Structure 1
Amino acid sequence: MEPKARVVFPLSFMLFITHWFQLAHHGSAAESCTYIVHMDRSLFPSVFSTHHDWFESTVQSTKSATLGHSFMESQTQIVYSYNHAMYGFGAVLTSEELEGIKNSRGFVAAYPDRNVTIDTTHTFEFLSLASSSGLWHASNLGEDVIVGVIDTGVWPESESFRDDGMTKKIPSKWKGTCQEAQDFNTSMCNFKLIGATYFNKGVIAANSTVRISMNSARDTDGHGTHTSSTVGGNYVSGASYFGYAKGVARGIAPRARLAMYKVIWEEGRYASDVLAGMDQAIADGVDVISISMGFDGVPLYEDPIAIASFAAMEKGVVVSSSAGNGGPHLGTLHNGIPWLLTVAAGTIDRTFGSLILGNGQTIIGSTVFPANALVENLPLVYHKNISACNSVKMLSKLKTEVIIVCDLVPDTKLMYKQMSVVYEARLSGAVFFLNGPMLNDSGIGTFPSITISAKEQTFVGMKPAPAVAVYSSRGPSPSYPWVLKPDIMAPGSNVLAAYTPHTQQLQLATMCAAHPEWSAAAIRSALVTTASPLDNTQNPIRDYGYPSQYASPLAMGAGQIDPNKALDPGLIYDATPQDYVDLLCALNYTMKQILVITRSGSYNCAKPSFDLNYPSFIAIYSNKTMSVVQKFRRTVTNVGVGGGTYRAKVTEPKGSVVTVSPETLSFRYKNEKLSYSVVIKYRKHKKEEISYGDVIWMEDGGAHSVRSPIVVAPSGIV
């Protein structure tokens, strides 16, 4: 008798926290295309009443002077004027017209617009957030913090965006609007969703004949609705995902205000629109910018997110971005921008799905097919000649009305191959076995299948958790590898949030509400130095990209965020805008390249330095040298209630000797600053490898523990 079985499955989660924007130039030298042009604000001619007038005059004069084109034939046009995220404009130009712009007064730099592509109910419990204590209590659930989400728009009818329980007075600093357009009117905004605007001039400039199917801030993709409700969605009772995760859903900051800036379109995805959205968010007075996108293969002075986030940082706006979706390979991380927070994606302690045998025994597994889509009363089939599940031809010899049991495989790569083969063979269902921890972010979701670990797991309280998700991009960042990225890890897999009916981000809002006086760097420092490198079994966090290994800081940063500890970190590493400029100077950026990022000539290169006051350390050694000695200097600020004494505890990376001086820091009063140095001496082994450790400042009495990860790595990984 073949055993009968029933398999219970949920639908594929719409996990979009780390889908990312890829770069591709469009147009050619002989054609018109959109360029982003940076101008020097200090050279603004007083004859013009507005900056836009100056930009328009510059473009028009270039149009008139261009040889080989009549005035009427030229396609030159202003697409956007930028005044907050950057200073300059976007315009459609021919190559000849671009050369004319380069010779005009005030020109700084120009580069082509870039075509781009996109990159979270139980989560708050997993992060130990409770309304009666900790960060949620201290921030009053993020009350009145304004989060600007740069994304695909919003579905305003979702219950996550109801304003029940919100205070009826929007902060006076808010200058934004609710833009009326196709299938979107001003009444759809409220005291929760306080703003919704859209930007698609870049899309239209790239293709003048394009027809925008949803020409408004309404979301038809789902990504923006999902991420914004994850950040600040209101309480929604009776939420579930096709029968799974039943309960009350809410965002990380359920009392925060939300503003959506739609910059991603089905018809095109362009940097000029992204930049326009960030420009408007800064002008509108947001406290936090949440952005799930990034640019690969460009220097900081041509990266719109780097440029816009510098402006945001100057104004005290915290920018949070994801690490990317290119894992598990090293060096795939983008947004390695020193002045923003880069977040890796981790798993949580929840999985869905079960295999129920004919005798009633239930085996817990992981699946991405609906709970209410039952595949039942079918025979389980295992045959030694075909259960390798690696041949469509062999599997096709079976009756399709069976559930195939595939052989145990050692890694996810082989399991994904099995999934593809079984799907192509069109069998009714499959059971896959993995010799390792349960990958609760696995599955292809297009047919009934379940993955079972060699060790049985439970639905909630899965151990070990968290782990670094397979897809999360790893550092270091090619754009700037000398700052350790990512900074931290947060839940990015199996996160339930709102979505459109048609089709990771952080608790920065709550941190800003609890500590409105802190800079963006201070908030980042608090999150980094209190993050945990341990999972819920109190063992080092594992890397699902390499299941046999523990995760390095290049995969998870300092570790999993601990929002309650971040509320009171003890010490912080702060940084000023000039500190970041000193770093750019050390990179030998020209003054024009620095001006592109800073928009102001008020900064100087008097003290160039690679040694940014960052809450982590990375030493990169050359493949040609046998040893490296690198010295870092750091300054910490005491944000505890009063004085306190901290002593250094060091875990040295393999092959390294780490010296901290002084070994004791004694603070007399709150906000006192003290400095120390770290010297890393590394001697290369025959085998090049990445090694890691940490420096922990332990307060006498155990009240605070301030941890900074250390990475020593060969330059070949960049």
Structure 2
Amino acid sequence: HQTSNIEHQTSNIKHQTSNIKLYIIRLSDLPLATYEGGIPEFSATHPRSIGKKRLDVRTPASKAYRKHLSDKQDQLTAFMKKNINPLLNPIYKYEVVFNGMALRLTPGEAAEIAKLPEVVSVHQDRPRRMMTDTSPAFINANAIWDGSGTCGQPGTKGEGIIVGIIDSGIWPEHPSFADDGSYPPPPVKWGGKCTPPADGTKGYSCNNKLIGIQYFLKAYLANKGDNYDGLFHSGRDDNGHGTHISATAAGNENVPATIYGIDRGMVSGMAPRAHIASYKATGPGGGVTSDLLAAIDKAVADGVDVINYSIGNEFASDPWKDPDAQAFLAAREAGVFVVVSAGNNGPDMSTIGSPANAPWVTTVGASYFNRLFLSDIEIQNSESEIRNFYGASPTRGISDFNLVDTEGIADVKGDTSGYCLNPFPTGTFRSTDAVLCKRGEIATAVKGNFVQDGGAGAILLYNDENSYDLSSFPYPIPSVLVLYEKGLEIKEFIAQSTQPPTIRFTQGEPFFSPDPRVPVDTVLGLSSRGPAITESSPDSLLNIVKPINIIKPDLTAPGIHLLSAASPEWVDTIHGEIGRLGNQGEFFQIIQGTSMSSPVVAGLGALLKSLHPDWTPSEIQSALTITAVSQDHKARDASGDHPATPFDLGGGRVDVSRATRAGFVLHESTENFRAADPSE
């Protein structure tokens, strides 16, 4: 009835036609997951208020309250169309973990809507960025599978658990998601679906392993105006990020992996018998919160047990006001264990952004585990002097190529910086040239394409001053990457040679600790650090930073040289083409980042949920965090490796076998999280 009163307060608002942006409107009624009653006609739907462990959207009470929310949203929409702008139509309506809607508005319209009594807040939508063969044995997942680490309980591989992946989609035909006929149907609580592509191009199907594929791109397309290719205007993954993450969390067990024609053994997800539900909510240029919020809302309604969210923002907005952070608070109350990547903005303090800074999500940093793919490098100059190095390589090696420094050589735009930022003209290099490029400014794998355009047959990269890890990328030609200091040595060696030196490097092979080149249990330099903060504005000139006295991340997991599934076709975001950048046609890749460490924990959460179905998300988080391993762990930054602090690694590196033996677990309530708002 409040909407009828609004009409007396606002009228004849002039519509401005310029500067339209995406906004998320939050309304005053509680969403389905946290509604504890209070409206006489509607019973409580909050699970704990009615003695349940998780939300059930199919009960009569849930259906009635959702209709109530939807009807009030429709009333508000009708009022706004009459009094603000007749063309206003919600892109999305949210009811399950967030009560509100997404709209395209001018700033003036947003300001008027913010004054309405049913409106709690109006947020301008902000872009979100996408931020795995992790040996299961390293974190003792195999001890949960076979029952040797479950304290007498039967082993589990995640049977009956649904893992929801909100990301860039999935490659449905990948063997990591195949159903060999041994999977049972999804649990009866499952309410999701397999949404076909928008235009029917290259359709796909789901099975009892990959039980759901849905996509949420309305706001992305409205905001960016992209002409999205028919193949990918669907739940199909356009860059491999979501496919890699899905397989890391819950991909099939013992899937043969080959990259660049090299047999890399078998890969398994952390919870290999769990069901996977994919929610695509990002496009080639990233994502927007409106779409992501719709995916969160639908995933919880569908009945997922775990959500992985390897997505975020460098900007640390207030989690007590941020829409997706608030949605995750309600999702937690609905019984869903939410895992969020810490971000790749380390190693400086307080670099964790949103929604990873929210205390109610499990925030995961990235650390080295006990294996790297390394290559031995030998460079010989014209005076027969030899220098030996090592670097990271996922590819085959080369023998007796000429080593050419690209600094001073112009690309098609005349840049001679040595960063290899643009394609080089055809014929710049020979097929027997290995060219030296500096890392930074653009995606590293793209540099391989640009030197290949110029004719080069291999690439040697070295870190820039702000990169500290031996990373691996999907290059199209033989490649190896060395640390910054070694790159400077190589540059000097080239400069001192009267003729181009020759270079050979070996095929990248797995090396394991205690090899001193493998810094096991060291937090990656790129992994974002705590403590958590909030910021007032993305504009650094106006930004007010406030500490919120929260230790983040919560823990770390393996996050470098992770071998997992990939999409064999993906979109070139620079040229708008398919099959242009990186190494196309590969079904597996070796990459790194907190995006890759987060699904490790999501998969382990699925194992714990299968083993302890009575545990709440808080109890799963506490079991993993208080049993994590931290003794003698290091953290990497510009000065090298130093003893890690809780702001580097939280509780420590995850060990799921220890988590099953936790002496106690802790539950925390939504009420207490809300009461901890430092602005109150």
Both structures adopt the same fold (TM-score exceeding 0.5) = yes
Q: Which residue of 2 aligns with 1:564?
A: 657
2:242 pairs, out of 224, 228, 242, with 224
Q: Which residue of 2 aligns with 1:451?
A: 482
2:370 pairs, out of 349, 352, 370, with 349
Superposed displacement of residue 349, structure 1: 1.9
Q: Which residue of 1 aligns with 2:296?
A: 278
Alpha-carbon contact 2:378-2:389 (below 8 Å) kept: no
Q: Which amino acid aligns with 1:173?
A: K
Q: Which residue of 1 aligns with 2:584?
A: none
Q: Which amino acid aligns with 1:354?
A: S
1:441 & 1:430 partners in 2: Cα distance?
Answer: 13
Alpha-carbon contact 2:635-2:648 (below 8 Å) kept: no
Change (3 A) 1:298 1:337: same
1:115 pairs, out of 127, 141, 157, with 127
1:487 pairs, out of 554, 567, 583, with 554
Q: Which amino acid aligns with 2:219?
A: G
Superposed displacement of residue 574, structure 1: 2.5
2:676 pairs with 1:588: no
1:532 & 1:118 partners in 2: Cα distance?
Answer: 27
Alpha-carbon contact 1:439-1:544 (below 8 Å) kept: no
Q: Which residue of 2 aligns with 1:63?
A: 81
Q: Which residue of 2 aligns with 1:310?
A: 329
1:399 & 1:268 partners in 2: Cα distance?
Answer: 36
2:616 pairs with 1:519: yes
The correspondence of residues 13-162 of structure 1 with structure 2, limited to 5 A, is 30-41=18-29, 50-66=68-84, 74-130=86-142, 131-132=145-146, 133-134=148-149, 138-162=154-178
2:245 pairs with 1:194: no
Q: Which amino acid aligns with 1:191?
A: N
2:627 & 2:643 partners in 1: Cα distance?
Answer: 19
Superposed displacement of residue 566, structure 1: 0.6
Q: Which residue of 2 aligns with 1:375?
A: 398
1:252 & 1:119 partners in 2: Cα distance?
Answer: 20
**Alpha-carbon displacement from aligned partner over 1:332-380 (angstroms, at most 9, x marks no partner):** 1121111110000112222224337699x99893323522xx4213478
Change (3 A) 1:229 1:104: same
1:65 & 1:533 partners in 2: Cα distance?
Answer: 59
2:667 & 2:120 partners in 1: Cα distance?
Answer: 30
Q: State the secondary structure of the residue aligned to 2:674.
A: helix
2:273 & 2:526 partners in 1: Cα distance?
Answer: 31
Q: Which moved more, 1:217-226 or 1:186-195?
A: 186-195
Change (3 A) 1:401 1:500: closer
Q: Which residue of 2 aligns with 1:466?
A: 521
Change (3 A) 1:60 1:323: same
2:352 pairs with 1:340: no
The correspondence of residues 530-569 of structure 1 with structure 2, limited to 5 A, is 530-534=627-631, 539-543=632-636, 546-569=639-662
2:333 pairs with 1:240: no
Superposed displacement of residue 238, structure 1: 2.4
1:357 & 1:282 partners in 2: Cα distance?
Answer: 54
Q: State the secondary structure of the residue aligned to 1:483.
A: coil
Alpha-carbon contact 2:195-2:213 (below 8 Å) kept: yes
**Alpha-carbon displacement from aligned partner over 1:551-603 (angstroms, at most 9, x marks no partner):** 2221111211111101111122321222212212xx233xxxxxxxxxxxxxx
Change (3 A) 1:365 1:62: same
Q: Which residue of 1 aligns with 2:267?
A: 249
Alpha-carbon contact 1:178-1:197 (below 8 Å) kept: yes
2:630 & 2:670 partners in 1: Cα distance?
Answer: 30
Change (3 A) 1:252 1:363: farther
Superposed displacement of residue 161, structure 1: 0.4
1:509 & 1:441 partners in 2: Cα distance?
Answer: 28
Q: Which amino acid aligns with 1:312?
A: A
Alpha-carbon contact 1:179-1:186 (below 8 Å) kept: no
Q: Which amino acid aligns with 1:161?
A: F
Alpha-carbon contact 1:322-1:344 (below 8 Å) kept: yes
Alpha-carbon contact 1:192-1:257 (below 8 Å) kept: yes
Q: Which residue of 1 aligns with 2:391?
A: 366
Superposed displacement of residue 468, structure 1: 1.0
Q: Which amino acid aligns with 2:129?
A: T
Q: Which residue of 2 aligns with 1:298?
A: 317
1:441 pairs, out of 458, 471, 479, with 471
1:353 & 1:438 partners in 2: Cα distance?
Answer: 16
Q: State the secondary structure of the residue aligned to 2:257.
A: strand
Q: Which residue of 2 aligns with 1:179?
A: 195
The correspondence of residues 688-707 of structure 1 with structure 2, limited to 5 A, is none
Q: State the secondary structure of the residue aligned to 2:373.
A: coil
Change (3 A) 1:93 1:569: same
1:438 & 1:104 partners in 2: Cα distance?
Answer: 50
Q: Which amino acid aligns with 1:367?
A: A
Q: Which amino acid aligns with 1:120?
A: T
Q: What's the TM-score, normalizing by structure 1?
A: 0.65
Q: State the secondary structure of the residue aligned to 1:302.
A: coil
Change (3 A) 1:245 1:124: farther
Superposed displacement of residue 441, structure 1: 2.3
Q: Which moved more, 1:475-484 or 1:215-224?
A: 475-484
1:329 pairs, out of 348, 361, 365, with 348
Alpha-carbon contact 1:441-1:469 (below 8 Å) kept: no
Q: Which residue of 2 aligns with 1:163?
A: 179
Q: Which residue of 2 aligns with 1:601?
A: none
Alpha-carbon contact 2:377-2:390 (below 8 Å) kept: no
Change (3 A) 1:200 1:362: same
Alpha-carbon contact 1:178-1:186 (below 8 Å) kept: no
Uncovered stretches (5+) of structure 1, i.e. residues with no partner: 1-26, 383-389, 590-718
Q: State the secondary structure of the residue aligned to 2:301.
A: helix
Superposed displacement of residue 98, structure 1: 3.2
CA RMSD after TM alignment: 4.3
2:379 & 2:119 partners in 1: Cα distance?
Answer: 75
Q: State the secondary structure of the residue aligned to 2:312.
A: coil
2:136 & 2:401 partners in 1: Cα distance?
Answer: 38
Superposed displacement of residue 202, structure 1: 1.1
1:207 & 1:75 partners in 2: Cα distance?
Answer: 19
Alpha-carbon contact 2:27-2:99 (below 8 Å) kept: yes
Q: State the secondary structure of the residue aligned to 1:276.
A: helix
1:246 & 1:165 partners in 2: Cα distance?
Answer: 26
**Alpha-carbon displacement from aligned partner over 1:14-73 (angstroms, at most 9, x marks no partner):** xxxxxxxxxxxxx9995333321111227999899643332122122222223xx6xxxx
Superposed displacement of residue 292, structure 1: 0.6
Q: Which amino acid aligns with 2:168?
A: T
- Aligned identity (percent) is 29
Change (3 A) 1:546 1:281: farther
Q: Which amino acid aligns with 2:511?
A: F
The total of aligned residue pairs comes to: 529
